[in-house]
Amino acid sequence: MGPSISSRLRGRFSRYAVVLAEADVACNQVTFFLEDVTLHREIKASRVEDLCPANSYEFRVQNGTSIDLRTSGSMLIAGKTTGVIALLLQALLAGPDGHGSQVLIIDPKQAEPSRLPRVVSLNADGDARAILSALSRFADSIKERQSFLNDRSTETGDAVHWWDAGLHVSLLFMDEYVALRTLFPKRASKEDPDYCLATFDGLVKRIVTMGASAGCYAIISIAEASVEEGGLPSMLRSACSTRVLFKPTLPEARLIWGAERLLDLGAPRTFSPGDAWFSSTDGAHDRIGFVHFPIMDFPVYRELGRLLDLYFRE
């Protein structure tokens, strides 16, 4: 019914379309939610400072839409890397917190980001040991930050959340995650028993499942929404409570959210760069909705490199 209703809206409602249909448990009633689909809510940043977050626990996506890290977890993003950079820039603009916070970028493709300071990539011979070491240090930082919070909780006699303790978000971004997994041998050697896929998977699992309470989150980026053998483990898909699909198609969306979650979506639309479907367990965006990530009208990689250098100098 949603597309039929949308196509018949005329006059002052011509800009509106059904964006969500919700039925009650007994299916006795269906509520259609309409929205002005021509209204532009995207953030237009002519300089990197325009992306400055209002606080340490939110990432701005568009006007009126943010990822609230107090109630959401790690992120699964399929598609365009530029949208992820908008989130990384916000974490860098917040600055380090003096308690082991990091903005760790792992680029196995050895593309543009690999030339930036502090970005971890492959060695010249294709060895990925540096990536494994960086992941291990990030996982260890979770223990240290959680220990600090536990000590504060003991002092106050009540639970102390990372955002109340003055901690800033600690962020791990893994680009081309599916390709990254293929770099590690499936079986460990006697000479180097830790250099294998099982070690990599174990570290990622620990970060994704245990990091949020210490303000540590992963952004797992995949080129295609594959959960088949050799692709994205289903456990990680389930553990990532914030999900983004750029320039979405229904087949990919089914792999990200499952077919049942897509039944409430309204009529299909034409997508442009930066457009995405988005959901998060923050209490405000549990349903899949349409968003447009920030438009950045400045040299993105130059600013990313400058802020990375500044972040780790402080």
Percent of the chain with pLDDT over 90: 51
Query: Which of the four pLDDT bands, split at 50, 70 and 90, describes residue 91?
Result: very high
Q: Are 265 and 295 in contact (CB under 8 A)?
A: no
Tell me the one-letter amino acid at 32: F
Question: What's the helix, strand, coil split of the chain in %, to 5?
Answer: 35, 20, 45
**Can you list the domains of the chain with their CATH numbers?**
1-39 (no CATH), 41-313 (3.40.50.300)
Among 139, 140, 160, 142, which Cα is nearest to 150's?
Answer: 160
User: pLDDT tens across 176-195, in order?
Assistant: 898 899 899 999 888 889 99
Identify the pLDDT of residue 229.
44
Average pLDDT value for residue range 260-283: 74
Residue 96 neighbours by CB under 8 Å, 6+ apart: 168, 311, 312, 314
- Per residue in 17-33, pLDDT (tens digit) is 776 677 776 778 888 87
Alpha carbon dihedral 295, 297, 301, 306, in 10-degree steps, equals -110
Q: Taking 50 as the threshold, does the pLDDT of residue 44 lie above it? A: yes
Gap between the Cα atoms of 5 and 20, Å rounded:
12
- How far is residue 84's CA from residue 89's CA, in Å, rounded to a whole number? 9
Dihedral of CA atoms 227, 228, 232, 238 in degrees, nearest 10, equals 40
Separation of first and last alpha carbons in the chain: 56
